[in-house]
Structure 1
Amino acid sequence: MATLFLIVIYLSFISLGLPDSLLGVAWPIMQPEIGASFGSAGIISMIIAGGTIVSSLVSGSIIQKLGTGQVTLISCLMTAGALLGFSVAPSLLWFAVLAVPLGLGAGAVDSALNHYVASHYKAHHMSWLHSFWGVGAMLGPIIMSYHIADDNSWRQGYWAVAMIQFGLVVVLFITLPLWKRVAERQQASKSLSISSEAAHVEEKQHNDIKSQKSSAAQKHPIKIKGVKFTLVAFLFYCGVEATVGLWGASYLVGARNISAETAASWVSLYYGGITLGRFMSGFITMKVSNRHLILIGQLTALAGGIILLLPLPNVLTLTGFILIGLGLAPIFPGLLHETPARFGKEQSAKLMGYQMAAAYTGTTFLPPVFGLIASNTTIKLFPIAALVFIFAMLLGSEKVIRTLKAQQKKEL
Structure 2
Amino acid sequence: MLSRRSVAVATMFLGIIYLAFISLGIPDSLLGSAWPVIRPDMGASFGFAGILSMVVAGGTIVSSLVSGSLVQRLGTGKITLISCCLTAGALLGFSMAPSIFWLVLLAIPLGLGGGAIDAALNHYVAENYKAHHMNWLHCFWGVGATLGPIIMSFYMVKHNSWRDGYTAVSMIQFTLAIVLLVTLPLWKRIAVSREHERLDSMIPQDQVGPELKQPAISSKANVLQIKGVKQTLIAFLFYCGVESTVGLWGTSYLVGARNMTAETAAGWISLYYGGITMGRLITGFITLKINNRVLIRCGQIIAIAGGGMLLLPLPQLFLVGLILIGLGLAPIYPGLLHETPTRFGRDNSAKLMGYQMAVAYTGTTFLPPLFGLLAAQTTIHAFPFIVIAFIILMMMSAEKVNHILNNQTKSTGINC
Name the TM tier (shorter chain).
0.7 to 0.9
Residues 1:131 and 2:139 are matched in the alignment: yes
**Contact 1:141 1:267 (8 Å CA) reproduced:** no
Question: Normalised by the size of structure 1, how large is the TM-score?
Answer: 0.73
Which residue number corresponds to residue 285 of structure 2?
A: 283
Which residue number corresponds to residue 54 of structure 2?
A: 46
What is the CA-CA distance between 1:280 and the residue it aligns to? 1.6
What letter matches 2:92 in structure 1?
Answer: G
Q: 1:229 to 1:246 in 2, by over 3 A?
A: same
**Contact 1:240 1:386 (8 Å CA) reproduced:** yes
Counterpart Cα distance in 1 of 2:32 and 2:321 = 18
What is the CA-CA distance between 1:237 and the residue it aligns to? 0.8
What letter matches 2:374 in structure 1?
Answer: I
Q: Where does 1:154-173 land on structure 2 (aligned, <5 Å)? A: 162-172=166-176
Residues 1:175 and 2:185 are matched in the alignment: no
What is the aligned-residue RMSD (CA, Å)? 4.5
Counterpart Cα distance in 2 of 1:31 and 1:306 = 38
**Contact 2:235 2:398 (8 Å CA) reproduced:** yes
Counterpart Cα distance in 1 of 2:304 and 2:284 = 22
Q: 1:379 to 1:44 in 2, by over 3 A?
A: farther
What is the CA-CA distance between 1:330 and the residue it aligns to? 0.8
What is the CA-CA distance between 1:232 and the residue it aligns to? 1.5
Q: Point out the more displaced range, 242-251 or 279-288.
A: 242-251
Q: 1:301 to 1:20 in 2, by over 3 A?
A: farther
Counterpart Cα distance in 1 of 2:285 and 2:58 = 34
What is the CA-CA distance between 1:389 and the residue it aligns to? 1.0
What is the CA-CA distance between 1:294 and the residue it aligns to? 0.8
Structure 2, unmatched stretches of 5+, are 1-7, 202-214
Which residue number corresponds to residue 64 of structure 1?
A: 74
Residues 1:396 and 2:397 are matched in the alignment: yes
Q: Where does 1:244-259 land on structure 2 (aligned, <5 Å)? A: 244-259=246-261
**Contact 2:306 2:321 (8 Å CA) reproduced:** yes
Q: 1:41 to 1:35 in 2, by over 3 A?
A: closer
Counterpart Cα distance in 2 of 1:139 and 1:317 = 28
Q: 1:400 to 1:190 in 2, by over 3 A?
A: closer
What is the CA-CA distance between 1:395 and the residue it aligns to? 1.4
Helix, strand or coil for the counterpart of 1:175?
A: helix
Which residue number corresponds to residue 27 of structure 2?
A: 19
Counterpart Cα distance in 2 of 1:341 and 1:116 = 13
What letter matches 1:302 in structure 2?
Answer: I
Q: 1:406 to 1:27 in 2, by over 3 A?
A: farther
Which residue number corresponds to residue 105 of structure 1?
A: 113
Counterpart Cα distance in 1 of 2:321 and 2:31 = 21
State which of 87, 111, 115 in structure 2 corresponds to 1:76. 87
Counterpart Cα distance in 2 of 1:344 and 1:276 = 30
What letter matches 1:178 in structure 2?
Answer: V
Counterpart Cα distance in 1 of 2:13 and 2:339 = 29
What is the CA-CA distance between 1:104 and the residue it aligns to? 2.2
**Contact 1:138 1:271 (8 Å CA) reproduced:** no
Which residue number corresponds to residue 208 of structure 1?
A: none
Q: Point out the more displaced range, 297-306 or 19-28.
A: 19-28
**Contact 1:83 1:102 (8 Å CA) reproduced:** no
What is the CA-CA distance between 1:391 and the residue it aligns to? 1.3
What letter matches 2:314 in structure 1?
Answer: L
**Contact 1:253 1:259 (8 Å CA) reproduced:** yes
Counterpart Cα distance in 1 of 2:309 and 2:164 = 34
Q: 1:42 to 1:169 in 2, by over 3 A?
A: closer
Q: Where does 1:11-410 land on structure 2 (aligned, <5 Å)? A: 11-21=19-29, 34-36=44-46, 43-59=51-67, 61=70, 64=74, 67-68=78-79, 70-81=81-92, 84=95, 96-114=104-122, 124-140=132-148, 162-172=166-176, 174-175=178-179, 177-183=181-187, 186=190, 215=218, 221-313=223-315, 315-344=316-345, 347-405=348-406
Helix, strand or coil for the counterpart of 2:397?
A: helix
Q: 1:250 to 1:20 in 2, by over 3 A?
A: farther
Counterpart Cα distance in 1 of 2:245 and 2:98 = 24
What is the CA-CA distance between 1:182 and the residue it aligns to? 3.7
What is the CA-CA distance between 1:132 and the residue it aligns to? 0.5
What letter matches 1:80 in structure 2?
Answer: L
- Once the two structures are superposed, what CA deviation does each residue of 1:360-406 show, in whole Å capped at 9, x if it has no partner? 32223212222333344444433332222111101111222334445
What letter matches 2:115 in structure 1?
Answer: G
What letter matches 1:169 in structure 2?
Answer: Q
Counterpart Cα distance in 2 of 1:250 and 1:289 = 36
